[in-house]
Amino acid sequence: MNKRSLLAAAVAASTCLPFGSAIAATAGPSNFNVTATLANFCTVSAANVAFGAVNAGAAATNTASSVSLTCNKGAAVTALVLSDGSNFSGTQKRMKDPVSGDFLNYNIDKPTGATFNTCPAAGAGPEWNASGIVATPLFTAAGGLKLINICASIPAGQFPSAGSYSDTVSVTATYN
């Protein structure tokens, strides 16, 4: 090979490489950690309780509604409590008709069973109020949504004015 060919080959080869670079190189691999700290967390809500049309003096029950409690696995729910409502008298929950001002007593009993989905006979169980339910066992094995029955009843023997009766009850979950 002559000098001219050798020089042409060297110039051609040098134009194929990026300016100021010889050969591409790699570094690594390098590892990094991904972390998170999860605190216990719960949310609570409840479906409305609708007795529908009730005859004066007759008893009525509604066990179709539930409290929705969602917590992570291992959350210690030390109290799931209901207020006595906005029309209570002592510890008696009462609905009020805004037209007549009359009251209609009702009860919400604590549900029983391992998952709190069994209602006692109407008015026969302990009242679900500030004494609450300890729901920790619901989240020992798994977190997520748990439905807890609302065991509502209207005792017989009440004869208030005809009307539309209502009350507002709040539900609160205490957890750690």
In a domain, 16, yes or no: no
The pLDDT assigned to 14 comes to 52
Q: At residue 11, does pLDDT exceed 60?
A: no
In a domain, 72, yes or no: yes
Tell me the average pLDDT across 15-36: 80
CB 77 within 8 A of CB 176: no
Span 72-122, pLDDT tens digits: 999 999 999 999 999 999 989 999 999 999 999 999 999 999 999 999 998
Residue 70 structural domain: 53-160
In a domain, 131, yes or no: yes
How many domains, the chain?
Answer: 1
Tell me how far the alpha carbon of residue 27 is from its chain's centroid.
Answer: 48
Strand 144-149, strand 60-62: pairing? unpaired
Which residue do the tokens 């029983």 mark? 112
In a domain, 15, yes or no: no
CB 103 within 8 A of CB 161: no
The pLDDT assigned to 19 comes to 54
| pTM (predicted TM-score) | 0.80
In a domain, 117, yes or no: yes
In a domain, 139, yes or no: yes
Span 32-71, pLDDT tens digits: 999 999 999 999 999 999 999 999 999 999 999 999 999 9
In a domain, 70, yes or no: yes
Tell me the average pLDDT across 10-32: 70
Q: At residue 17, does pLDDT exceed 80?
A: no
The pLDDT assigned to 6 comes to 45
In a domain, 128, yes or no: yes
